[in-house]
Amino acid sequence: MPDIVRNGVRIDDNFAEAFPMSGTGILITAPNAKWARQAALTMTGFATSVIGCGCEAGIDREVPPEETPDGRPGVRALLFAMSSKDAEKQLVNRLGQCVLTCPGSAVYSTVAGEFEIKVGDAVRQFGDKWQMSKVVDSRRYWRVPVMDGEFFCEGKVGLTKKSVGGGNLLIMGADWDKTMRATEAAVAAIDGVADAIAPFPGGIVRSGSKVGSQYKGMSASTNDAYCPTLRGVTKSALDEDIGCVLEIVIDGLTDNAVREAMRAGLHAIIEMGPEQGAKRVGAGNYGGKLGPFHYHLKDLLP
Amino acid sequence: MKPFTFTLRQEPPQRVDLSPLTPDRLAGKSIAQIEEIEIGVTRISTKVGDIFKISEGDLKSLRYEGGSSRFDLLGAKLLPGFEIHVEGDVGAQCGRLAKGGKIAIAGNAGPHVASGNLGADIEIKGDAGDFLVGPLAGELAGMAGGRVIVRGNAGARAGDRLRRGIVVIEGDAGEDLGARVIAGTIFVLGEAKGRIGYLNKRGSIVLARAGCFGSTYVDCGPQELTFTRFLARSLRDHSASAADLLSRKLRRYGGDTAVYGKGEILTPD
């Protein structure tokens, strides 16, 4: 494979393969930024992969008080699932267990989608008939009495089926420290892109998987081609100077958000260069036949 | 583009029903046809052309140059996306059963403003008559959506049987404010006279001045509600003084416990 090199970083002539998803999200506000963030963190916990968690979720950005509907600090959390039904079920569950329970929180719609799913209209019954509905500018809101005052929650939030999940970057470096430095820089750059999240811990996954396994009934297993300890004994994709591989997986509300997030991450890695950070960047795909969205790394270069 | 304008020639000789003169019902009609529309309500004929001089313009926005307290049913069944502006007074049932759109009255309005309103934004610069947003006799529910702002005073029984939507009275309200309210939100920034919130089921009544609400309203203490912060922001552009009131710490009185008891009166602590 003829490598492309930018600022000393080798870029694979490869592409990320991504899939359509249902994307939704909520804007959570609280009396201060700490508790808005806490609610969002709790709600987006255990949401790294649809395979085991039912959805993929993460924090898109913090929203300053001037931009929130109630003038309090806010956090925008996005949630992606394979169907709108899954997305609704996951969002309502997480809202009920993680946001309703979080002190001071309030919830607003934040995704302009072609569909709407019920959230406040689902958790309102927690109010045991003491809940009050308010319609403001044709949108319904619920006031549910709780022990610290009231939980204020929009009745419905937007959902779009035009979301994309599975954009990714494989960051390869000499050792863990350098690879992590480059990957963290890429995650920080992706955080700055609107409408996109990286759902894994801190945005980073170290156990990338391949399709299939030597065991019966396991649909995914470790991506041995990218495991540095197996470089000699398996059909490895790694060069001699690679000692560690980390992956960033990206979900976005739109095709363009995923592309821009990948571009921002790639640029940050290239800017850092191979001495401090990564020596090589690749992308994961399944041959191009499964997912309709392909993001070629060579198209995203600076 | 300039608005479609009706200029008042003379005070109508009788009450007139202006419900045919909404943008959607005027669409496709020539000026001559519009002038022939019968708007009188008695056996004596009164036609549009007798009362108004018409100048054509953009039908999305209607303008009445001059008003009269005999202008009944102005903007009735108005649809979303349309606007009506009246440089003068209007009569009874302004904005009756309006589905959306905007109505602005520079003068005073008669009784039953926004009765049965479903979503229109109505602003009365002067005073409003009795039964603001209230139902007509025999109807079970009053206004069911939209926003009504009265810059002046409102008559008796304002907010009667309100079901949904926001009513702001920047001046004083007459007797029996918010009687039989089902739900929705009513503000009075001046004084509310007499009994308040009689048989209120689930509505919110926000008062700038505290009063005696009777033994069926129960003190729930001062509260800081996210809802009031939110509503203050959404009302800021429509009624700054209502938004200011909502930004203060409010004491909540739950009631009317003579009925359902899940409504409230909010008033500064």
Residue B269: pLDDT band (50, 70, 90) is confident
| Structural domain includes residue B20 | no
**CATH for B211:** 2.160.20
Average the pLDDT over B232-236 and give the result. Answer: 95
Q: What residues of chain B lie within 8 A of the CB of A29, using their CB?
A: 226
Q: Which of A105, A128, A132, A150 to mutate to test the interface with B (most CBs of B within 10 A)?
A: A132
Question: Structure pTM?
Answer: 0.92
pLDDT, position A1:
53
Candidate from B145, B224, B262 with C-beta closest to A135: B145
The string of pLDDT tens digits covering residues B7-24 is 999 999 999 999 999 999
Are the CB atoms for A269 and A281 separated by under 8 Å? yes
The string of pLDDT tens digits covering residues A183-220 is 999 999 999 999 999 999 999 999 999 888 999 988 88
pLDDT, position B255:
86
| CB pair distance less than 8 Å for A71 and B229 | yes
Distance between CA atoms of residues A90 and A79, nearest Å: 8
Q: What residues of chain B lie within 8 A of the CB of A136, using their CB?
A: 166, 230-231, 234
Distance between CA atoms of residues B181 and B38, nearest Å: 37
The domain of B243 spans: 59-268
| CB pair distance less than 8 Å for B119 and A138 | yes
Average the pLDDT over A275-293 and give the result. Answer: 91
Which residues are CB-contacts of A102 (< 8 A; sequence separation ≥ 6)?
A: A28, A30, A35, A38, A39, A42
- Residue A125 reports pLDDT greater than 60: yes
| Structural domain includes residue B151 | yes
Structure tokens given for B50: 């007798």
Residues of A with CB under 8 A from a CB of B: 29, 69-72, 106, 129-130, 132-138, 141, 143, 149-150, 152
Distance between CA atoms of residues A218 and A211, nearest Å: 9
Domain count, chain B: 1
Residue type for position A137: D
ipTM of the complex: 0.92
DSSP designation for A3: P
Residue type for position B35: E
pLDDT, position A81:
97
| Structural domain includes residue B195 | yes
Distance between CA atoms of residues B24 and B21, nearest Å: 8
pLDDT, position A298:
94
Residue type for position B218: V
Are the CB atoms for A196 and A252 separated by under 8 Å? yes
The string of pLDDT tens digits covering residues B20-63 is 999 999 999 999 999 999 999 999 999 999 999 999 999 999 99
Q: What residues of chain A lie within 8 A of the CB of B183, using their CB?
A: 132-133
Count of alpha carbons within 13 angstroms of residue A226, beta-carbon side: 23
Residue type for position A77: A
Distance between CA atoms of residues A16 and A291, nearest Å: 9
Closest CA to B164 of B114, B199, B216, B103: B114
Distance between CA atoms of residues B170 and A158, nearest Å: 35
Q: What residues of chain B lie within 8 A of the CB of A149, using their CB?
A: 223-226
Distance between CA atoms of residues B120 and B134, nearest Å: 15
| Structural domain includes residue B92 | yes
| Structural domain includes residue B9 | no
Are the CB atoms for A150 and A250 separated by under 8 Å? no
Q: What is the dihedral of CA A227, A232, A236, A242, to 10 degrees?
A: 60
The string of pLDDT tens digits covering residues B107-143 is 999 999 999 999 999 999 999 999 999 999 999 999 9
| Structural domain includes residue B31 | no
| Structural domain includes residue B102 | yes
Who has greater pLDDT, B231 or B214? B231
| Structural domain includes residue B73 | yes
